[in-house]
């Protein structure tokens, strides 16, 4: 029999409902189950942070100095966590760009 052939099977209504219900529960379980993998936060260089927030490097440095955003130093480079930048936006800690990401 070809794979694209349609096959009709007679089953009782309650069995059909149970099949549909089990498929829906399985699908929902996949989306509601917390992720098993460890998610690392994306680190952004200052240029990427500027592009994300639509501001200049000077503004980023001012916000960093005023402790509106957190920064991390690895070697000589400065990084920002993307989730923290977005969190600062949503918490209205950054005044000029609070509506950029919605």
Nearest 5°: phi and psi at 79? -125, 160
0.95 exceeded by pTM:
no
Model pLDDT for residues 78-101, shown as the tens digit of each residue: 999 999 998 888 777 665 554 444
Q: How is the chain split into domains, by residue range? A: 43-90
In this predicted structure, the answer to whether residue 64 has a pLDDT above a threshold of 70 is: yes
Model pLDDT for residues 12-21, shown as the tens digit of each residue: 999 999 999 9
In this predicted structure, the answer to whether residue 5 has a pLDDT above a threshold of 70 is: yes
Beta-strand relationship, 43-45 and 72-74 = unpaired
């Amino acid at each position: 029999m070809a794979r694209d052939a349609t096959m009709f099977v007679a089953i009782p209504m309650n069995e059909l409902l149970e099949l549909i219900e089990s498929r829906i529960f399985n699908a929902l379980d996949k989306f509601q189950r917390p992720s098993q993998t460890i998610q690392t936060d994306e680190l952004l260089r200052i240029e990427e942070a500027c592009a994300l927030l639509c501001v200049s490097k000077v503004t980023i440095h001012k916000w960093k100095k005023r402790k509106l955003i957190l920064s991390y130093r690895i070697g000589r480079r400065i990084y920002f966590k993307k989730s923290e930048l977005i969190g600062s936006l949503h918490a209205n800690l950054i005044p000029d760009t609070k509506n950029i990401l919605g």
